Amino acid sequence: MMSNPAMIARIDHLVLTVTDIEATTVFYERALGMQREFFRGPEGQPRHALLFGNQKINLQDRATDTPTKARTPTFGSGDFCLIAGVPLDDVIAHLRKQAIEIEAGPVARRGAIGTLRSLYFRDPDGNLVEVAEYVNA
């Protein structure tokens, strides 16, 4: 076990296993303005991702063939927090305009570096998406 947390600087990407890559891509484009990326993996297999800021979410489905895959990829098991690039009230207004149901929020939460103001909604597979802004940041 590493005892020095400074050895890790940030998250580069995470992976979601989804039932329908296209439907998921369209949802995140519409809900959060993410941009789609198509690329080839090291073995030449097709891969899909959602880009935002300096990070991305790689998407895979049951047919995705890659040697570096979670042992038990499960639909709808994602639960993650994204920091908004605009005021959270703008995100709320946008989600409402897109008819995306907000399950909770805004509510106070504790983030990695301080207090968050957060909201929660679900993607097409039921993954829980938290979008937040730091309070007094």
Catalytic, 130? Answer yes
- Evaluate whether 65 touches 45 at the Cβ level (below 8 Å): yes
Angle between helices 88-97 and 21-32 (to 10 degrees): 130
Give the angle subtended at the CA of 117 by the CAs of 113 and 119, to the nearest 5°.
Answer: 120
- CA 43 to each of CA 13, 22, 39, 64, 66: distance values in angstroms, whole numbers, following the listed order: 19, 22, 11, 12, 8
Given the residues 22, 101, 130, 133, the one annotated as active site: 130
Three-state DSSP class for residue 29: helix
Distance CA 76, CA 66 (A): 20
Catalytic residues, which ones? 130
